[in-house]
Structure 1
Amino acid sequence: MTKELYSNGKLLLTAEYAILDGAKGLALPTKFGQSLKLETSNSKTFEWKSLNENGTIWFSAQFSKIELKTIHTSDTDISKRLAQILLEAKHLNPSFLSSKTEYNSVEAKLTFPRDWGLGSSSTLIANIAKWANVNPYRLLAATFGGSGYDIACAQHNTPILYRSNEYNPSVSEVNFQPKFSDQLYFVYLNKKKNSRDAINSYRNLDFDKTALVSKIDAITNKILQCKELKEFVTLLNTHEKILSETLKIPTVKETLFSDYSGTIKSLGAWGGDFVLVTGTASEMTYFRNKGYSTILPYKEMIL
């Protein structure tokens, strides 16, 4: 018996950080994601393999059935974390992993490099939630935490508007297909950012959250109606300025690319993973010359 599940990766165009306080975020599911292949085997144990985008095993573990005690593993910390997620899913649905005929051989495979920050954790949570038939937002809250927009992206094949609301967020699919998308690129900064650390730092700031949410919501609404690149750029720059003042840290453009002619927008936790940049294909040479070789056109990244 075999079953395969799949969840999309994610990028957050607006409302990073502010989405934690209820701001409306424009989130973009990616063409990259993670699959979960489930099989029933004759093994008396529960087997797990995680593969990278090249099909190479980067993590493996063997657990006892039901209790999910680690028997063998390539990484103890990851093994403990995985067992915690599976046991939490079982807590939410006691029938999960309780049957003798239940799947006991699992292969998780990413279609993007793990350090890209497109949601190796969120796609895993979403897949396990589908498998266990539990609320993915509850599973996320009990494990990694966060706003949950990444879980929503995992389940939708089009851009979405997302507003958090504990375990029942507001999610609506939107028609966001900028006619200037040929002038939008995603540049990987090669600095994996720990989302939980970034969230904790944000939580410790003292500012008017209601005012921030109001400003960000207005920008998100305008971006959805945007027809011209010039207006889009103005809105992105305003968004960066507002967040920079709130976080009390400089924008990524000020820090790394102050002499670049186009606009640069952080996506998600500031200082790592991908940024959105405006420009032409030839202008991307600027980033390559600075050592940033992973550059994806909008249409190659976004569903």
Structure 2
Amino acid sequence: MADSLKKTYYSNGKLLITGEYLVLDGAKAFALPTKFGQNLIVEEAEGESIHWKSYDSDGSIWFEDTIPFASIIRNERFDDAKSIKNTLMEILHEAYRMNPDFITNAKGYTITTELTFPKFWGLGTSSTLINNIGQWLQIDAFELLKNSFGGSGYDIACAQNCGPILYQLVNEKPVVETVLFNPDFTTKIFFIYLNQKQNSKAAIASYYGKSAHNPKSIAKINTLAKAVISATTVNDFALALQNHEIEMSNILELPTVKEALFPDFDGVIKSLGAWGGDFVMAVSKENPAAYFNSKGYDVVIPYSEMIL
């Protein structure tokens, strides 16, 4: 009997290929959903509370707590040591505002989340959770993200789509276009984890701290997104990525990741999402694993193993 009351939801992880930061100002962003993602398993329980347990991809528990319904309703805050709990509380409180039924018409829940990627990879631990909650409660995940965690929402679009997308905010509303991207040179594309998780909120704040972002930059980034998607040769693809890195380097007043970390790499390297952390994309004639391993970067994933 109990099993019939168990519901499972799943969302895809994400990688932002072009348009990082500027997507917040209305630029078109090219993004790819990943083969990795997160499950949310909901079971009915008692106690007017949610017993929450989050598993990392290796089966270890990285968060566990019991959250009373009353705390969610009043959006209770905890000290900084409980930042995960605070974030979860914020999301659940906003979800309650959007659909109170899940609390007013329930006795309690046992909720389990399961990541299929290591949580420090930055493939969308929060966005996959928010989209799963949206599915569960039948509320708009973009709205839930906006009211709780913030960000452009491209990651929610990846959570919901099983192929490449072009994402844009038009009048602050998400516009998602599915695009064809299946060039014959994906065997030359690799993703490398930089051994440090980037804080998206902090990165966005730093971006907004820079000077005004001019419409010319947005137009240029939109053109480069189109060039990346429509590239028919690996050289065209690499050139578009390189030009995108140069443009963003000027806007952010930061060196490109290749200049900063891999100046002797034979190929093109593109930052993905927030600069300075999470994954980068490398375009290389040969499998570059040996090169990156020698520099202390052990996670090198071929395109076919990463992208949905």
In structure 2, the partner of 1:217 is 222
State the distance in 2 between where 1:233 and 1:241 align.
12
SS in 2 for 1:169: strand
Name the residue aligned to 1:21: 25
Within 5 A, what are the aligned runs for 1:1-303? Answer: 1-68=5-72, 76-100=82-106, 104-165=109-170, 168-303=173-308
Residue pair 2:33, 2:164 contacting (<8 A) in 1 also? yes
Does the 8 Å contact 2:10/2:38 carry over to 1? yes
For structure 1, list consecutive stretches of 5 or more residues without a partner in the other structure: none
Say which SS state the counterpart of residue 39 (structure 2) adopts.
strand
* Residues 195-221 of structure 1: CA deviation (Å, up to 9, x unaligned): 111111111211442011100001111
The amino acid of 1:127's aligned partner reads N
State which drifts further: 213-222 or 163-172: 163-172
Query: How high is the TM-score relative to the length of structure 2?
Result: 0.93
Separation of aligned partners in 2, 1:282 and 1:142:
42
Separation (CA, whole Å) in 1 of partners of 2:91 and 2:137: 11
Count of aligned pairs between the two proteins? 299
Shift in alpha-carbon separation, 1:21–1:223, aligned structure 2, 3 A: same
Q: Which amino acid aligns with 2:262?
A: F
Computed over aligned residues only, the root mean square deviation of the Cα atoms, in angstroms, reads 1.7
Q: Secondary structure in 1 aligned to 2:173?
A: coil
- Structure 2 letter corresponding to 1:99: N
Could you tell me whether the CA contact under 8 Å between 1:10 and 1:118 is conserved in 2? yes
- TM-score under structure 1 length normalisation: 0.94
- Any conservation in 2 of the 1:207–1:246 contact (CA below 8 Å)? no
Report the 3-state secondary structure (helix = DSSP H, G, I; strand = E; otherwise coil) of the residue aligned with 2:32.
strand
CA distance in 2, matches of 1:91, 1:42: 22
Give the Cα separation in 1 of the matches to 2:49 and 2:196: 37
